């Protein structure tokens, strides 16, 4: 009897999730963290420089990286710190995070025998709650490379309780981009009735637009204008404990090219393939009306 009740509750829960994301739902199970679940579907960049106004509303943050002094706008961005983990090789130097020819360049390289990686984030300068977040970027990766476009809550007290939204992660020579949602409910409690991660093809060697549309009810992920998956707010009565929806606070943006190494997701670094880099054409956040 208990098994039947649990099964019935699971069916009801899945039905509610499908209803919550009915306009943007994606069929399938949660991909394993190291399993490539992408298809060979074609993706086209529908968000060129002249057509990037895809969301109707007020633009609350934008950077076209047209600075002429070679540095990212210091009113919007600071260098990512060397924090260990993904940030273990962050150089905290503009040598690995700079503006050139209208593009932000963040790169990973080896300089005088030392690995150095670059990144910027808007922590302490620009954060927001809800909206459509879009980033147009091109990747030249390498074995051990780990470019990423992601969002972290401000302030952040504990991972994954406070949540995280990854618009794009690419590792080593993979030709798929990973998009992931993080929460205590998914990561620590292991609830499997919701998709939390997906891997989809991107246009290798070309610019692609990665986006999330974030509202009080759901987070919808996109690559080049196509929906990849949706994560709904289940409005659980015990959410204060299980933290299924920590996405009701300000988040800031991170743009970085990290380097992995032994026992990391990207794996060992192949020095002969360095430098690897990510070029960012523009970033835009629109408060959806």
**Token pair in block for residue 274:** 């360095």
Of 134, 169, 213, 279, the catalytic one is 169
* Catalytic one of 33, 134, 154, 164: 164
CB 145 within 8 Å of CB 61: no
Please report, for the chain, how many H helices and E strands are present, in that order.
3, 15
Type and span of the H or E element at 18:
helix 2-20
The overall longest dimension of the chain from CA atoms, in Å, is 69
Cβ(107)–Cβ(120) below 8 Å: no
Whether 213 sits among the annotated catalytic residues: the reply is no
> Which 8-state DSSP code applies to residue 281?
E
Question: 109 catalytic, yes or no?
Answer: no
Q: Are 165 and 214 in contact (CB under 8 A)?
A: yes
Q: Which residues are catalytic?
A: 164, 169
């Amino acid at each position: 009897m208990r098994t039947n009740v649990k099964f019935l509750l699971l069916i009801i829960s899945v039905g509610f999730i499908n209803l919550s994301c009915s306009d943007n739902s994606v069929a399938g199970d949660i991909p394993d963290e190291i399993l490539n679940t992408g298809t060979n579907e074609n993706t086209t960049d529908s968000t060129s420089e002249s057509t990037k106004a895809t969301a109707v509303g007020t633009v609350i943050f934008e950077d076209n990286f047209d600075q002429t002094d070679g540095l990212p706008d210091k009113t919007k961005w600071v260098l990512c710190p060397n924090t260990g983990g993904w940030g273990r090789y962050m150089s905290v130097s503009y040598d690995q995070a700079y503006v050139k020819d209208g593009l932000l360049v963040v790169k990973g390289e080896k300089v005088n025998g030392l690995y150095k990686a670059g990144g910027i984030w808007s922590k302490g300068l620009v954060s927001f709650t809800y909206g459509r977040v879009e980033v147009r970027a091109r990747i030249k990766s390498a074995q051990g490379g780990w470019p990423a476009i992601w969002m972290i809550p401000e302030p952040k007290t504990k991972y994954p309780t406070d949540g995280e939204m990854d618009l794009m992660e690419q590792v080593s020579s993979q030709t798929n981009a990973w998009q992931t949602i993080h929460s205590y409910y998914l990561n620590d409690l292991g609830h499997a009735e919701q998709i939390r991660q997906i891997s989809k093809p991107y246009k290798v060697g070309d610019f692609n637009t990665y986006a999330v549309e974030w509202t009080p009810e759901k987070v919808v992920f996109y690559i080049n204008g196509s929906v990849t998956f949706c994560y709904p707010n289940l409005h659980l009565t015990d959410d204060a404990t299980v933290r299924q929806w920590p996405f009701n606070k300000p988040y800031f943006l991170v743009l970085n090219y990290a380097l992995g190494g032994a026992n990391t997701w990207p794996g060992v670094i192949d020095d002969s393939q360095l430098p690897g880099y990510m070029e960012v054409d523009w970033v835009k956040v629109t408060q959806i009306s």
